[in-house]
Amino acid sequence: QVRVVESGGGSVQAGGSLRLSCQAPRYKRQRYCIGWFRQRPGKEREREGVAAIDSDDRTFYADSVKGRFTISQDTAEDILYLQMTSLEPEDTAIYYCAADYASSMTAMQALSPYEYSYWGQGTQVTVSS
């Protein structure tokens, strides 16, 4: 059973920073892609891709977060990080980490929630103005 666990959410004022962490397993000789998605208030049926990273260390970002968010991974510890800076009230959402172990993804696939099989429980990020 693949277990994905997020941590690090919280409340911050606009312009501030937060770092999210995600524990998700990697397997030897198994390709993977691990991504961050968010669900904004009032859009409970929609999860939008924020950033993703794969087993080749390729990174993918939504246009809305480029230059502000950075995704990275510590493969020795099976931990993924999302460093969020210059946060805006529009970044307020539940942030989910998700993993998939299929073949290599394109940039569009990496930011699509439909491509991921394993999900964490989510962590709340609230940005006040």
Q: Is the dihedral of CA 85, 82, 75, 22 positive or negative?
A: positive
CB neighbours of residue 87 within 10 Å: 22
Cα distances from 90 to residues 5, 10, 39, 59, 127, in angstroms, run 24, 15, 11, 22, 8
Res 110: pLDDT: 97
Res 75: pLDDT: 87
Res 44: pLDDT: 82
Please give the average per-residue pLDDT across 61-72, as a whole number: 98
In 3D, which of 38, 33, 19, 25 has the Cα closest to residue 81?
Answer: 19
Res 24: pLDDT: 95
Residues contacting residue 44 through CB under 8 Å, at least 6 positions apart: none
| Cβ burial 42-71 (10 Å sphere, 16+ → b, else e) | eeeeebbbbbbbbbeeeebbbeebeeebbb
Give tens-digit pLDDT for 68-115: 999 999 988 899 999 999 999 999 999 999 999 988 899 999 999 999
Q: H/E/C letters for each residue in 25-74? A: CCCCCCCCEEEEEEECCCCCCCCEEEEEEECCCCEEECCCCCCCEEEEEE
Give tens-digit pLDDT for 6-26: 999 999 999 999 999 999 998
